[in-house]
Amino acid sequence: MAAHEISGEVHRHEAPKSFIRKYIFSLDHKVIGIQYMLLAMTSVLVGLIMSVLMRMNLSWPGTKWPILGTLFPTGAPDGVMSPEFYLSLVTMHGTMMVFFVLTTAPQGGFGNYFLPIQIGADDMAFPFLNMMSFWVTLVGFVVLILAIFVEGNQVVGGWFSGLGDWMQGGSGTVGPIGGWTAYPPLSALGKIAGPGQGAGMSLWIISIAIFCVGSLLGALNFITTLLNMRTRGMSLMRMPLTCWAWFTTAVLALLAFPVLLAGGILLFLDRTAGTSFFIPGGEVLTDTLITTHQGGSPILWQHLFWFFGHPEVYIAILPGMGATSHILSTFARKPIFGYRAMVFAMFGIGLLGFFVWGHHMFISGMSPYSAMAFSILTLSIGVPSAIKTFNWLGTLWGAKIRFTVPMLFAIGFVSLFVAGGITGLVLGQTSLDLPMHDTYFVLAHFHLVMGVAAIFGMFAAMSFWFPKMFGRMMNETIGKIHFWITFIGVYSIFVPMHIMGIIGMPRRYAQFAENGQSIYHFIDPADPLVKFVTVAAIVTAVAQVLFYFNFFWSIFKGKKAGENPWEATTLEWTTASPPPHDNFAGVVPTVYRGPYEFAVPGAPNDFIMQTETDAELASHSKGTSGNGHDGHGH
Amino acid sequence: MGRALGVLIWLLTLGSVLLFASGKWWFPATISEHGPEIDRQFMRTIIVVGISFVAAQVALGWAVWKYRATPGDTTRAVYSHGNNRLEIIWTVVTAIVFISLAVIGQRVWAQLHFVGAPPGSFQVEVVAQQFQWNFHYAGVDGQFGRTDPSLIGSSNLVGLDPSDPKSRDDAVLATLVLPVNRPVELTLRSIDVTHSFWVPPLRFKQDLVPGMAIHVHFTPTKTGQYELACAELCGQFHYRMRGYVIILPEDEHRALMALPPDQFQSRVGQLRQQIPISY
C-alpha cells in the first residue's frame, strides 16, 4: 500500500481522556463541528416557534395564549400579543435564524467536521482557535437569550438597570425591536424611541459583535487549513466542491464580518457614549428635542450593515450549494457536470456578492445613480447562479439516480434555489423596487433562497454525513416522510407570500386588523392567503418533530453504518465511522484523482475512491465483477 | 420514488404558476403617470422569471423521472465531466437576458429620479413622526414658512415659526391632498426615526430619513381617496401609521388651496368622509 508508507512520520496527537476535554472544551474539529450543529439545532427551534407565534398573530390577532401571559405579563397581557411583542419576535426570529442557524450549522458545523477530513488533514490548522471560535459564538448566543429576558422581564431587567440608562430594560417584549437589520436612529436613541429600545437592544448589539469575533476566528482557521493542510495529491482542483464552498464562504466571512463588527461598535457608542455616527441633529421624540446628538447619518449604518449583510446571504447559501453538488453527484452516480465552471461560479458569486449591497437601499435616500449601478451588478450575479443550476441539471442528465433521503433534499435544494433565486430578477431592478420594497414579496424571495434552500442543504448534509459522524444510519422512512411534508409545506408557505407582496402587504406589521376592523383596505384581498399560509406553516413546523426524533433516535438505535455506506468517493469515506481522533488512524491518505469519479468506463466499480491508485484499479478489474462494495484498498 | 418526485415538482410548479396567473390577486390599479410603465416592466420581468422557473423545474422533474436507478439494472450512468460549449452558450444567453432587463428597468427610474420636478409642480412638505403623517401646505402665498425642530410640539407638529410672515397662511394636515394630472413635488422629512412613504396604487415608495430632506416627484392621474402606509419599521405602532391621499380635479384642488387654513382643514375633513376609499 503505497499510500500508507509514511505513517510512522506523522505527528499524532493523543485523544484526550477526561470528559471535559473530550466533549466540552474539545480541540477536536469533529466535536466542535457537532457542538456548532447542536447550537444551530437549538436556535432553529426557538426561531421556528417564534415564526409560528407570528403567523398566529397575523391570522388571528387578539388570540389568548395563557403561557405567553405567564412568561411575559407586560408584553402579552392575558396572553394576547401586543404589537411590540410581535415586533420583538420578528427581530429575534431573524437574528436567531440568520446568525445562529444559517451561519453556524453549514460552515461551523459541517465545514468544521468535514473540511479537514475531506482534504486529508488530522485537524484544523489551529485547534485552540477553533475551540475559541465556538465558545465565543456560544457566549454571543447566551447574550442574545439574555436580551430576551432583560427586555421581557421586570425582574431580570432590574438586575441590569444599575449599569446605567442604556441598560434600562423590562419593556415587556421578548427582546429588542429593530428587525435583524436594526436601522438607526430607531436602534440608536435608547428608551425614548419606544419599547424594545432599552437594554435588550444594547445586548443585541453586544451579541452580534461577539458573534462577529467568533466567525472571524473561524474564517481564519478555515482558510489556513485549506491552503496549508491538504494531503499529498490533493491539489486544489481535486478538492470536493464542498471544500471550495467552505473556502469561499470563509473568505466572504473574513471580509464581511469586520465591517459589521465596526458598525456594531459605532452603534453601541451612539447609544452609550454620546457619539453621533448614525444620529443626525434636530431629532424630536415625544415632544423632546434631542440636543446631545448631531451630524450623524442613518444611511451610513445601512451601507455598513449591507456591506456585510449581502455577502452574509452567500455565507448562508454557499455551503448548501457545495453539499448539494457533492450529494447530487454521489447519488446520480455520475461525475459533477462542469467542475471548473462550478468553482468559478462559486467565486464569481462570492466576488460579485461584495458589489451589490446597495440593492437593499434603492429607496433609502441613497443617490439614484448608485442605485442604477447596483441594479445592473445585482442582475449580473444571476449569471453564476444560473450556471450552477445548469450544472446541477447537467449532473442529473443521463444519471442513475438513487433516491436516498440526502438526495431528495439535494433535489429539493435545486428546486427551491431556483424558485427563490429567480425573483431576484424582480427585486434587483430599481424601478420594480418602488412597489416591491419592504413587502411580503421580499420576504418570500429571501426565505425561499437563503432560508429554506439553505436549510434543505443542511438536511441533505445531515442525512448524508450522519452515518460518518455517529456510525449509524438515520431512519430512511421517517426521513422520507419528513422530506415530502417539508417540501410541499415550504412551497405552500412562501409562494403565496409573493402574491401578498404584489397586493402591497408591508413587512413587519404586527397585525392587519384591529378589533375586527381591517386597518388597510388594500390588504383585505390577501386575507384568505394569510390564513392559508399560517395553516401551512403550522403543519410544516410540526413536521420538523420528525427530524428531531430521527436525529436523536438514530444516534442510539439507527442501523449500524459501515465505512462507506453510500459508495461515495471522497476521503471521509476511507476512514472509520465515526473517524478516530486523528481522522485517519495515523495514516496519511494520498490522493490520485478527482472527487467525483463515478461511472468510469472499464473501472471495476461504478465509483473510484480518491485514494485508489491505477495499479489497485487494474488488479481489481482482473478479479471482481463490478458491483462490489468497499472497492478501495484499506 | 423518482416518478413521484418528478410529478410533485411539476405539480408545485403548476400550482405556483396558477396562483400568479389566477387574476384574482394582483396590484391595485395604478393612478400615476409612471405606474403603467412600472406595471409593464413588472410583466416583462415576471414573464422571464416564469419561463426560467418553469423550464428549470420541468427539466428537474424530467431528470428525476427519467434517470432513476431501477432494481436489477447494472448499467452505469453516462460518464461525462461536462460540456464547455454548452456552458459558454448558457452563460452568454443568461447574461444578455438578465442585464438587458436591468438596463430596460432603469428608464422609468431615471424619469423619476435623474431629473428634478418640472417647474410648476404642486409642492407639499411631508414630515413624518412616529406613527403619524403630517403634510405641510404653503397656503395662498405659495411659500412655506420657516420651520425649526426646537419649536416642534403637540400643537406645532412641524415646528412652524410663527414670527415668519410666510408661515401665517400655512396649514398642517394629516391628509395629503393632490391635484390630478399635475406634477407633484414632495419634500420628505422625518423628525425621529426612518419611515417610508408607500401608496400602492401610486407605485411609489421612498424612505423619509431623519436629517435629510428628500425631494421626489410624480404625477397622479386618477381622482379618489387612497391609503398611505409606512413601509419602514418605525417602532411599536408601525402597522398603525396610516394616512390618506386625496386626489382632486385640478380646479377643485385650486379652490381648496385658496381657502384660509382653518377652512381648508375642515373642508378636507369633509372630503375624507365623502370620497370612498379606492383599492
CATH code of domain B122-278: 2.60.40.420
- The residues near B193 (Cβ < 8 Å, ≥ 6 apart) are A183, A185, A186, A189, A193, B130, B210, B234, B235
Higher local confidence (pLDDT), B136 or A74: B136
What ranges do the domains of chain B cover? 2-67+83-113, 122-278
Verify whether the Cβ–Cβ distance A491 to B15 is below 8 Å: yes
Strand-pair category, A288-289 with A284-285 = antiparallel
pLDDT confidence bin for A13, thresholds 50/70/90: low
Which of A332, A383, A426 lies closest to B49 in CB terms?
A: A426
CB A15 within 8 A of CB A581: yes
CB burial of residue B39 (10 Å; 0-12, 13-18, 19+): middle
- Average pLDDT for chain B: 95
Rounded Cα distance, A247 and A37, in Å: 19
Fold that domain A311-560 belongs to in CATH: Cytochrome C Oxidase; Chain A (1.20.210)
Do B19 and A495 make contact, defined as CB atoms within 8 angstroms? yes
pLDDT per position as a tens digit, A90-130: 999 999 999 999 999 999 999 999 999 999 999 999 999 99
Q: Is A378 exposed, middle or buried (0-12, 13-18, 19+ CB in 10 A)?
A: buried
Residue among B59, B214, B229 minimizing CB distance to A520: B229
ipTM of the complex: 0.97
Q: Is the peptide bond before A578 cis (omega within 30 degrees of 0)?
A: yes
SS3 of B197, please?
strand
Pairwise CA distance, residues A144 & A148, whole Å: 7
Contacts of A372 in chain B (CB under 8 A): 106, 109-110
Contacts of A177 in chain B (CB under 8 A): 233, 235-236
Distance CA A585, CA A107 (A): 25
Q: DSSP secondary structure string, A586-607? A: T------S-S--BS-TT-SSSB
Which of B30, B114, B239 is the best mutation test for A, with the most CBs of A within 10 A? Answer: B239
CA distances in angstroms from B264 to A180, B122, B178, B220, listed in the order given: 43, 16, 13, 21
Nearest to B40 by CA among B99, B110, B105: B105
pLDDT at A149 over 90: no
Is A202's pLDDT higher than 80? yes
Residues in chain A with CB shorter than 8 Å from the CB of B243 are none
Least confident of A220-224, A613-617, B63-67: A613-617
pLDDT above 90 (res A44): yes
- In B67-222, the DSSP E strands lie at 122-129, 132-137, 171-173, 175-179, 184-190, 195-199, 204-208, 214-218
Q: What is the pLDDT of residue A628?
A: 41
A24-56+86-264 matches A311-560 in fold: yes
**What integer is the mean pLDDT of B210-218?**
97
pLDDT at B215 over 90: yes
Pick the residue of B106, B158, B236 with the most A CBs within 10 A to test the interface with A by mutation.
Answer: B236
Burial pattern A324-348, b for ≥16 Cβ within 10 A else e, equals bbbbbbbbbbbbbbbbebbbbbbeb
Multiple choice CATH, A24-56+86-264, 1.10.260.40, 3.30.1340.30, 2.60.40.10, 1.20.210.10: 1.20.210.10
> What would the grid cell of residue A108 be?
461551523
Q: What percent of chain A has pLDDT over 70?
A: 96
Contact predicate A433/A504, CB 8 Å: no
What residues contact A142, with CB distance under 8 A and at least 6 apart?
Answer: none
- Mean pLDDT over A394-404 rounds to 96
Query: Is the pLDDT assigned to residue B126 strictly greater than 50?
Result: yes
| Residue A614: how many other CB atoms lie within 10 Å | 10
Mean pLDDT for B15-31 is: 95
Supply the pLDDT for residue A72: 82
Mean pLDDT on A49-73: 90
Q: Which pLDDT score is estimated for A58?
A: 94
Mean pLDDT of A17-22: 85
Give B73's contacts in chain A (Cβ within 8 Å): 400
Inter-chain touch A379–B230, beta carbons under 8 Å: no
* Per-residue pLDDT at A12: 56
Q: Best mutation site among A85, A183, A186, A407 for testing chain B: the one with the most B CBs within 10 Å?
A: A186
pLDDT score, position A328: 98
Which residue ranges make up each domain of chain A?
24-56+86-264, 311-560, 562-634
- Does the structure show a pLDDT above 60 at A622? no
Confidence of residue A440 (pLDDT cuts 50, 70, 90): very high
Task: Indicate the DSSP class of residue A5.
Answer: G
Q: DSSP for B164-195?
A: SGGGTT-EEESEEEEETTS-EEEEEEESSS-E
Asked whether B137 and B152 are in contact (CB, 8 A), the reply is no
DSSP assigned state of A577: S
Cβ atoms of A402 and B69 within 8 Å: the answer is yes
Of B82, B174, B15, B113, nearest in space to A434 by CA:
B113
Render pLDDT for B40-90 as a digit per residue (tens, 0 to 9). 999 999 999 999 999 999 999 999 999 999 888 889 999 999 999 999 999
Cβ contact, residue pair B80, A398, below 8 Å = yes
* Residue A226 predicted with pLDDT over 50: yes
pLDDT of residue A11: 53
CB contact (8 A) between residue B109 and residue A400: no
Give the tens place of pLDDT for each residue, B142-172.
999 999 999 999 899 999 999 999 999 999 9
Measured between CB atoms, which of A430, A502, A524 is closest to B105? A430
> Which residues in chain A are closer than 8 Å to B229, comparing Cβ atoms?
504, 506, 520
